[in-house]
Amino acid sequence: MQPKSNIPNRIRINYHIKVPQVRVVLEDGTSPGIMQTYQALQMAKDVGLDLVEINPKSSPPICKITDYGKYKYDEKKKAVAAKKNQKIVELKEITFRPNIDENDLNHKISQAKEFLLDGNKVQVTVRFMGREITHPELGKEKLDFFVKSLTGVSIVVTSTVLEGKRMSIIISSK
């Protein structure tokens, strides 16, 4: 078995394209069709541009007659724009004890609602201290009330999980 090289797949241009036939796309987007690689290279050379392999996996590979520098610049610009438009979803955590007061719990619910409206996921955790763990049903009731209060805004991603002295659930916005 050969070791994988660290060199990423590079775009082949001009004489580095070794296949016998290619599907050619001109700079304006029109396509003269499938032709021999040497003919496509000659066509690109006549216009003073490069033959750039766009899709090497299709059969025959798709090549575009364009300026290679401009092509690289456009691809880099597209990648930056795609990265910019990505929405990063954070996981916010809200923690409380099973004997929390009603007003405090309502405040935690309003915080969770704000997080959900911002598009984040929320992990709601009940921490048990000391002997409180002997009554996990109290924590389960509080979590159920919490989720019921957010039914119009959220959906449950993971069901209630008890890990050690913590009971948690993850919810996300609709």
DSSP code string of 24-56: EE-TTS---EEEEHHHHHHHHHHHT-EEEEEET
pLDDT at site 2:
46
DSSP-assigned letter for residue 150: T
| Contact in structure between 44 and 53 (CB atoms under 8 Å) | no
Same domain as 138, residue 96 = yes
pLDDT at site 9:
59
| Contact in structure between 95 and 128 (CB atoms under 8 Å) | no
Which CATH number goes with the domain that contains 51? Answer: 3.10.20.80
Positions in the chain short of pLDDT 70: 1-9
pLDDT at site 152:
85
Domains of the chain: total: 2
Q: How far apart are CA 112 and CA 58, in angstroms?
A: 48
Q: How far apart are CA 28 and CA 64, in angstroms?
A: 10
- Model pLDDT for residues 52-68, shown as the tens digit of each residue: 998 888 888 999 999 98
Same domain as 98, residue 54 = no
The answer as to whether 9 is a domain residue is: no
- Counting beta carbons within 10 angstroms of the beta carbon of residue 151, is it exposed (0 to 12), middle (13 to 18) or buried (19 or more)? exposed
Same domain as 166, residue 96 = yes
The answer as to whether 51 is a domain residue is: yes
The number of CA neighbours under 13 Å toward the Cβ of 122 is 28
pLDDT at site 85:
83
pLDDT at site 27:
84
The answer as to whether 3 is a domain residue is: no
Q: Which domain holds residue 80?
A: 14-84
